[in-house]
Structure 1
Amino acid sequence: MPFKSFSDYLLLEKKYSELTVGAYVSDLKSFQAYNFSEFTQKQIINVNYAQIRSWIIHLAELKLENKTINRKVSSLNTYYKFLIKVGAIASNPLSNHKALKTSKRIQVPFTAEEVEQVLNTIEFKDDFQGYRDRLIIELLYVTGIRRAELIELKLNHLELECKTLKVLGKRNKERVVPLIQSIESTMSKYLKYRNELPCIVDGQYLFLTNKGLKLYANVIYRLVNQYFTNVSSKEKRSPHILRHSFATHLLNEGANLNSVKELLGHTSLASTQVYTHNSIAELKKVYAKAHPRSK
């Protein structure tokens, strides 16, 4: 496996999640498939920028967005930096590469009404899967946690008496997020059905499949998209949009930006300020309605 040492480096030294590491390796394999039938150390050393540029053009011809292409190239760049670090190559063929221009797209959050519609009008099945799906949507919305963080939640991270949840964020950074009372009923019913599963393999994890295995990312994406398709016509309906909704709704209701930053697990305010775009839209409505000169 040509990327084993690189994967170990990202997991153990950089503290990236398994999901993130998987995305890096997938991007490298995309480059490998385009250029080589086999990805050997000698070929890596001899790669030049012209080969990389040809791959970038190929990705553009596939109609991939510039943002996606930049991410793939960034994965390759990280790999070359790793090879320099371990002494496998002397220079990085991407050292002078400039990222493709991208337009800043504001992701539109779900409205509070759309979330309420999913939780209050859609009938979830009265079984393990029904309560699991409902709890996933509730938890994503009331805590703002990332999809990868939800997957990694363990039973011992849950403190129902204290109404808190310990979350392991990016690079293993821990934070504690509060739980609101409305989630308790769904949580207790899900745990009841969970404990009745005939076979539990990955018992330490909070969320499991019907076969008792640790939940995987695609399941969460599919279920969020499936349930919100019934109530929303928005272009993107994903777990990350629920995170956007959590932050935006808090800010719209007057929450402090620093508090939202801590709840989201951001290291800097710059990351959190992305969500203020949607709040500004709400402020404009209030401003236009309330200011005497707007009449």
Structure 2
Amino acid sequence: MEPDRGWSCLIADYAGHLSAERGLSEHTVRAYRSDLRELARRSGVRVDGIDLSVLRAWLADLAEQGAAAATVQRRVASVKGFLAWAQAEGLIAEDPSVRLKAPKRPKQLPKVLSGSAVEEALASAEARAVEDGDALAVRDLALLEVAYSSGLRVSELCSLRIVDIDHDRGAVRVLGKGGKERTVPIGNPALRAVGQWLRRRPEVARATSPDTVFLGARGGKLDPRVARRVVHAATLAAGPGAEIGPHGLRHAMATHLIEGGADLRSVQEMLGHASVATTQIYTHVTPERLRAAYRQAHPRA
């Protein structure tokens, strides 16, 4: 059953607000729309008929279906944002989601790619680029190097423009979530790989190609799904349980920086996190590292 016209119009208006005024990505807006359409279908009431009991029943249904705590949390966030907006716009008298609480998310740290696993993936991609002599293999190496060197999100990687790379300063300018711009350092191996790719890029580019660094096989802007496949294939040998793909390299970059002594605020800035609390997941330490720090620092170790 589709949501009634009242729901559909409001969801469309809210999606427009998220895009135009909050600058959220198309992917995020699509997720919000999906969550709200599901609430509309399951609740069976008009927007102004939503109350706390309806919301709690909806969450109970999700739990019975085995939805993960992270999924429930995201949907609660979607609904809270929508109802707060609806109240601010005078569309509902009261926001019933104020007292709605999402289940706590279990603290599960991702298994981060080790430095040796990343080095192996990059070395393998470099060998393939040299042996194959194919322009796209050179592109793939550059993509991997930039992903690990800068920790960019996959959407940021695919949107990175040629003019955004400052070879002299060793930095890239990134337009991140919410349209926020930041400057991120990039290492020499990544700059070299990008330089090699840019020399081969005309072999792939077309007259209609965008000014993005990375292009697809047909000369268009690189699709995030293709970027994920490239990184996934390169890091697949990291072993079971390791988080692979572009986000896995982002996790690895942040963890390796902190393990190397980088401060949390700097890593937060590089990753483009709005809150340092999001970055704190990377401060986890292994028992071995903890013991080593204790032996080094404690006067009676």
TM-score between both structures, scaled by the size of structure 2? 0.83
CA spacing shift, 1:289–1:201, aligned 2, 3 Å: farther
How far apart are 1:201 and its partner, in Å?
A: 4.2
The one-character-per-residue Cα deviations of 1:112-147 (angstroms, maximum 9, x if unpaired) are 000011011353554343233322221111112222
The match for 2:55 is 52
Read off the aligned partner of 1:196 and give its amino acid letter.
Answer: E
Read off the aligned partner of 2:249 and give its amino acid letter.
Answer: L
Q: Is the 8 A contact 2:171 2:184 kept in 1?
A: yes
C-alpha distance in structure 1 between counterparts of 2:281 and 2:205, whole Å: 44
In structure 1, runs of 5+ residues without a counterpart are 37-41
The match for 1:180 is 187
C-alpha distance in structure 1 between counterparts of 2:65 and 2:137, whole Å: 38
The one-character-per-residue Cα deviations of 1:152-210 (angstroms, maximum 9, x if unpaired) are 32222122233221011232222212221112332123223332226464513222322
How far apart are 1:97 and its partner, in Å?
A: 0.8
Find the residue that maps to 2:102 and give its secondary structure.
coil
Q: Is the 8 A contact 1:200 1:211 kept in 2?
A: no
The match for 2:96 is 93
Find the residue that maps to 1:103 and give its secondary structure.
coil
Answering whether residue 178 of structure 2 is matched by residue 171 of structure 1, we say: yes
Find the residue that maps to 1:166 and give its secondary structure.
strand
**Corresponding residue to 1:11 among 10, 19, 22:** 19
The match for 2:247 is 240
The match for 1:22 is 30
CA spacing shift, 1:21–1:202, aligned 2, 3 Å: farther
| Aligned residues: CA RMSD | 2.7
Read off the aligned partner of 2:96 and give its amino acid letter.
Answer: P
Find the residue that maps to 1:211 and give its secondary structure.
coil
Find the residue that maps to 1:94 and give its secondary structure.
helix
C-alpha distance in structure 1 between counterparts of 2:114 and 2:91, whole Å: 51
Answering whether residue 234 of structure 2 is matched by residue 231 of structure 1, we say: no
**Corresponding residue to 1:142 among 146, 149, 172:** 149
CA spacing shift, 1:32–1:199, aligned 2, 3 Å: farther
Answering whether residue 110 of structure 2 is matched by residue 107 of structure 1, we say: yes
Find the residue that maps to 1:95 and give its secondary structure.
helix
The match for 1:284 is 290
The one-character-per-residue Cα deviations of 1:61-108 (angstroms, maximum 9, x if unpaired) are 332211111101211221111111222111223222111122111122
TM-score between both structures, scaled by the size of structure 1? 0.85
**% identical equivalent positions:** 31
C-alpha distance in structure 2 between counterparts of 1:194 and 1:229, whole Å: 26
Read off the aligned partner of 2:248 and give its amino acid letter.
Answer: I
Find the residue that maps to 2:174 and give its secondary structure.
strand
Read off the aligned partner of 2:292 and give its amino acid letter.
Answer: V
CA spacing shift, 1:197–1:236, aligned 2, 3 Å: same
CA spacing shift, 1:93–1:228, aligned 2, 3 Å: same
Q: Is the 8 A contact 2:112 2:242 kept in 1?
A: no
Answering whether residue 79 of structure 2 is matched by residue 73 of structure 1, we say: no
CA spacing shift, 1:27–1:211, aligned 2, 3 Å: farther
Q: Is the 8 A contact 1:19 1:148 kept in 2?
A: no
5 Å matches for 1:208-219? 208-219=215-226
Query: Larger deviation: 54-63 or 76-85?
Result: 54-63
